[in-house]
């Protein structure tokens, strides 16, 4: 097998190993809650069995040995020779942790090293392996006159002192892959788990390579001995009593049909999907430009047949590009379950460590999100869950005294609202003391007394996201250092998302994260300011409007609007990025406003004109421009112009600083 083939196999193994580790974690945690659930035991057993077989196939004996020990214990549970206990659950979880460490070492290309002797001993002690395993009777060797044309018969013996005979058998079959096809075997491949040391394997094998290659492959394996090889004879191939060789008309089609049914999915590298997405993004830009050129041609040559044909062709191309884009976008979407499944184990361990009792509830796991965003939400959710367990949830006795259930609830939920994904982390704990947040923010210098006097209670609550702010009375290794919540906000804003917090003392806290479905192509509102063009993500736009001059107010020289009973702060896009003289005095009933929702608050953006809605491709500005607050990227419009895409969450940060410190624009 070539190095490239082996590399591809290893990539597939590692991906499947991650899936099996999650299955093991999830199953063991379910088993802890429902010790008598035999279906859960079977599911965990299958996960361990699958990982054992695949790791043995890849020659990773350390992983195979550990999964074999876990499998033995699970088999004891399955056969009711032992009962589920907290000690057994801890052993299985420790085994899964060790497996995760070994898999990480494989990914890093490191030598597999882990001190698992104590763990292995514990697993064996929990369910002692049978010591008087009966060896099966010798299998019948394949005879030459019984072999089908082009096949050979192999008789292979597993060493008498082999500790893991089934693993060695799997390695035999793996060494034969690529050299031919197994026609039959005794014992059958699905019975290899029952193989004993010293037992023989009889394999009928159709050659695709030279016989010597087969012999060399088997002899290269430790604890395996090739004791006989049968070759087809001339009489065997001409025996009139032998069944006829399969032909196209007489052979059964079932194997081919089964194979066709099994090939339902194809593994594709993420880099290939990214390349496809980039190409589609370029098509979207060109589609928009073609539409723009078509509009100009129609104005000048409205009745020309050639222009009409161009319009029809452009419309067809547009439909095809749109459909192609939608399909590729769907391929890039993955259920959030792939991330959510990592957290039950973490929550379980942290709650035990903190001495708290809670039910962890997952909702909306089938909600789909772009794979480019999915991995980046792990850290923010981790921080929020840690804080919920450490700060939010009260100790059991304290909850009982407060008239609350002894067992708390922590909910991690996802749902789709239009073209946004909403992720919420909610607990029914004690809530956040806004007074403590103010004190912590003052102590850290995040705000001044004067700034606090201007802020509402909700605005003060948002200070929980300021760097270094923590309401913890003591530092723990779970949280409490104030290094998490600012990371949550920064990471979410880096994904063009927003995060807000709602709390009620004594009843609980809810964090709401809003994310775009994708970061590649978005629907947007194109606006004009002077000779410049700004693009606003449509997902953030609430509405556009004009208002009477009498509705415009100035609070400490900062413009705002009394809009439907609420004060809406205003910011002029023209003066935000380049000063425009006396813009606040120019606001009147002909001024166009775009109301955007930043998550934490609503803001009115002042623009000169609305150009229209269109689909735009987000292009990064690159490291040369650095971190431009308020700008999410750039795009190319249909007329070839480059427009800046606004980051409304970043603009909200500018608004807050302006409201509570000094004016950005003087009247």
Q: Which CATH number is 321's domain given?
A: 1.10.287
Let me know if residue 133 belongs to a domain.
no
pLDDT value for 176: 81
193-207 per-position pLDDT tens digit: 777 777 888 888 887
Residue 517 tokens, joined: 């479905």
Within this chain, do residues 372 and 476 fall inside the same structural domain, yes or no?
yes
Return the CATH number at 187.
Answer: 3.30.70.1110
Query: Looking at the predicted structure, is the pLDDT value of residue 234 above 60?
Result: no
Within this chain, do residues 350 and 495 fall inside the same structural domain, yes or no?
yes
Q: Residue 509: pLDDT band by 50, 70, 90 thresholds? A: very high
Lowest-pLDDT range, 86-90, 266-270, 388-392, 486-490? 266-270
Domain end position, chosen among 486, 516, 546: 516
Within this chain, do residues 325 and 366 fall inside the same structural domain, yes or no?
no
408's torsion region: left (phi>0), alpha (psi -120 to 50) or beta? beta
Lowest-pLDDT range, 173-177, 343-347, 400-404, 555-559? 555-559
- Cβ within 8 Å of residue 52, ≥6 positions away: 63, 64, 67, 68, 71, 167
pLDDT value for 54: 86
Within this chain, do residues 651 and 582 fall inside the same structural domain, yes or no?
yes
Within this chain, do residues 320 and 374 fall inside the same structural domain, yes or no?
no
Within this chain, do residues 304 and 437 fall inside the same structural domain, yes or no?
no
Per-residue H/E/C for 99-119: HHHHHHHHHCCCCCCCCCHHH
Question: Averaged over 182-200, what is the pLDDT?
Answer: 78
Query: Which range scores top for mean pLDDT: 225-229, 248-252, 365-369, 603-607?
Result: 365-369
Return the CATH number at 420.
Answer: 3.30.565.10
Tell me whether strands 200-207 and 151-158 are parallel, antiparallel or unpaired.
antiparallel
pLDDT value for 377: 92
Nearest to 413 by CA among 336, 465, 470: 336
pTM for this entry = 0.65
pLDDT value for 61: 87
- Cβ within 8 Å of residue 285, ≥6 positions away: 617, 635, 636
75-120 per-position pLDDT tens digit: 888 888 888 888 899 899 999 999 999 999 998 888 888 888 888 8
- Cβ within 8 Å of residue 410, ≥6 positions away: 347, 358, 359, 360, 361, 385, 388, 389, 392, 393, 425, 426, 427
Return the CATH number at 82.
Answer: 1.20.120.160
Is the pLDDT higher at 452 or at 581? 452
Lowest-pLDDT range, 26-30, 101-105, 540-544, 614-618? 614-618
Burial class (CB in 10 A: 0-12, 13-18, 19+), 501: buried
Q: Please give the residue range of the domain that contains residue 432.
A: 336-516
Let me know if residue 241 belongs to a domain.
no
Query: Looking at the predicted structure, is the pLDDT value of residue 8 above 60?
Result: yes
Apex 369 CA angle, 364 and 370, nearest 5: 170
Within this chain, do residues 423 and 572 fall inside the same structural domain, yes or no?
no
Return the CATH number at 625.
Answer: 2.30.30.40
Q: Residue 253: pLDDT band by 50, 70, 90 thresholds? A: very low
Which residues are tagged catalytic? 49, 71, 387
Within this chain, do residues 498 and 531 fall inside the same structural domain, yes or no?
no
Query: Looking at the predicted structure, is the pLDDT value of residue 507 above 80?
Result: yes
Query: Looking at the predicted structure, is the pLDDT value of residue 508 above 90?
Result: yes
Provide the edge-to-edge strand list for the sheet that holds 358-363: 358-363, 408-417, 420-427, 508-516, 498-504
Question: What percent of the chain is modeled with pLDDT above 70?
Answer: 81
Let me know if residue 261 belongs to a domain.
no
Is the pLDDT higher at 575 or at 614? 614
pLDDT value for 318: 83
Let me know if residue 250 belongs to a domain.
no
Within this chain, do residues 202 and 291 fall inside the same structural domain, yes or no?
no
Query: Which range scores top for mean pLDDT: 270-284, 510-524, 624-638?
Result: 510-524
Query: Which range scores top for mean pLDDT: 147-151, 355-359, 451-455?
Result: 355-359
Query: Looking at the predicted structure, is the pLDDT value of residue 7 above 50?
Result: yes
Within this chain, do residues 567 and 621 fall inside the same structural domain, yes or no?
yes
Let me know if residue 278 belongs to a domain.
yes
Within this chain, do residues 493 and 345 fall inside the same structural domain, yes or no?
yes
Residue 209 half-sphere exposure toward CB, CA atoms < 13 A: 14
Query: Looking at the predicted structure, is the pLDDT value of residue 648 above 70?
Result: yes
464-505 per-position pLDDT tens digit: 887 777 776 665 656 544 456 888 888 888 888 888 899 999
Let me know if residue 252 belongs to a domain.
no
Let me know if residue 546 belongs to a domain.
yes
Question: What percent of the chain is modeled with pLDDT above 90?
Answer: 18
Domain end position, chosen among 99, 126, 153: 126
Question: Averaged over 143-158, what is the pLDDT?
Answer: 74
Residue that is written with structure tokens 């949550």 in the block: 488
Domain end position, chosen among 475, 499, 516: 516
Q: Residue 444: pLDDT band by 50, 70, 90 thresholds? A: confident
Residue 407 half-sphere exposure toward CB, CA atoms < 13 A: 5
Query: In whole numbers, what is the pLDDT of the chain averaged over residues?
Result: 79
pLDDT value for 289: 82
Within this chain, do residues 451 and 546 fall inside the same structural domain, yes or no?
no
Number of compact structural domains in the chain: 5
Let me know if residue 314 belongs to a domain.
yes
pLDDT value for 139: 53
Query: Looking at the predicted structure, is the pLDDT value of residue 546 above 60?
Result: yes
Lowest-pLDDT range, 290-294, 378-382, 479-483, 608-612? 479-483
């Amino acid at each position: 097998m070539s190095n490239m083939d082996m590399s591809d196999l290893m990539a597939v193994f590692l991906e499947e190993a991650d899936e099996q580790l999650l299955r093991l974690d999830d199953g063991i945690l379910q088993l802890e809650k429902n010790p008598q659930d035999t279906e859960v035991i079977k599911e965990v057993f299958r996960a361990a069995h699958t990982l054992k077989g695949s790791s043995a196939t890849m020659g990773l004996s350390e992983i195979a040995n550990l999964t074999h020990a876990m499998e033995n214990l699970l088999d004891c549970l399955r056969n009711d020779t032992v009962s589920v206990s907290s000690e057994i659950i801890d052993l299985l979880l420790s085994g899964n942790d060790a497996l995760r460490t070994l898999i990480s070492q494989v990914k890093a290309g490191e030598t597999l090293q882990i001190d698992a002797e104590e763990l292995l001993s514990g697993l064996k002690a929990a369910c002692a392996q049978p010591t008087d395993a009966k060896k099966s009777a010798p299998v019948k060797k394949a005879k030459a006159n019984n072999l089908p044309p082009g096949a050979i018969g192999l008789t292979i013996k597993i060493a008498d002192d082999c500790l893991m005979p089934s693993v060695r058998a799997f390695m035999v079959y793996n060494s034969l892959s690529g050299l031919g096809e197994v026609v039959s075997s005794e014992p059958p491949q699905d019975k290899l788990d029952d193989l004993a040391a010293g037992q023989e394997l009889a394999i009928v094998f159709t050659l695709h390579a030279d016989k010597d290659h087969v012999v060399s492959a088997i002899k290269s394996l430790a604890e395996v001995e090739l004791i006989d090889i049968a070759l087809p004879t001339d009489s065997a191939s001409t025996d009139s009593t032998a069944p006829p060789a399969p032909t196209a008309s007489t052979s059964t089609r079932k194997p081919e049909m089964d194979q066709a049914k099994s090939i339902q999915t194809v593994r594709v590298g993420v880099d290939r999907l990214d390349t496809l997405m980039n190409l589609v993004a370029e098509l979207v830009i060109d589609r928009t430009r073609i539409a723009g050129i078509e509009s100009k041609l129609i104005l000048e040559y409205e009745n020309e047949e050639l222009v009409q044909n161009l319009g029809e062709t452009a419309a067809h191309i547009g439909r095809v590009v749109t459909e192609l884009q939608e399909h590729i976008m769907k391929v890039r979407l993955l259920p959030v379950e792939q991330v959510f499944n990592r957290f039950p184990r973490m929550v379980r361990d942290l709650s035990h460590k903190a001495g708290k009792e809670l039910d962890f509830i997952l909702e909306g796991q089938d909600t789909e999100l772009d794979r480019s965003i999915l991995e980046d939400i792990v850290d923010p959710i981790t921080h929020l869950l840690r804080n919920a367990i450490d700060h939010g949830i009260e100790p059991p006795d304290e909850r009982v005294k407060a008239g609350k259930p002894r067992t708390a609830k922590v909910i991690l939920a996802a749902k789709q609202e239009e073209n946004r994904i909403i992720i919420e982390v909610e607990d029914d704990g004690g809530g956040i003391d806004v007074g403590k947040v103010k004190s912590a923010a003052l102590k850290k210098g995040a705000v001044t007394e004067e700034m606090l006097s201007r802020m509402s209670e909700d605005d003060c609550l948002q200070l929980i996201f300021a760097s270094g702010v923590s309401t913890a009375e003591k530092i723990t290794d779970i949280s409490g250092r104030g290094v998490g919540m600012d990371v949550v906000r920064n990471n979410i804003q880096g994904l063009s998302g927003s995060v807000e917090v709602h709390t009620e003392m004594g009843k609980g806290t809810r964090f709401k994260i809003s994310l775009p479905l994708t970061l590649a192509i978005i629907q947007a509102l194109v606006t004009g300011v002077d000779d410049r063009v700004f693009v606003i993500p449509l997902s953030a736009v609430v509405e556009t409007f004009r208002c009477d001059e009498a509705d415009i107010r100035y609070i400490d020289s900062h413009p705002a609007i009394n809009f439907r009973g609420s004060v809406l702060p205003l910011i002029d896009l023209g003066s935000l990025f380049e000063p425009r003289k006396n813009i606040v005095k120019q606001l009147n009933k002909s001024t166009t406003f775009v109301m955007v929702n930043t998550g934490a608050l609503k803001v009115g953006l002042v623009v000169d004109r609305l150009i229209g809605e269109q689909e735009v491709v987000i292009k990064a500005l690159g490291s040369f421009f650095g971190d431009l607050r308020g700008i999410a990227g750039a795009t190319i419009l249909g007329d070839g112009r480059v427009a800046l895409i606004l980051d409304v969450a970043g603009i909200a940060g500018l608004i807050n600083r302006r409201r509570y410190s000094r004016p950005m624009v003087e009247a």
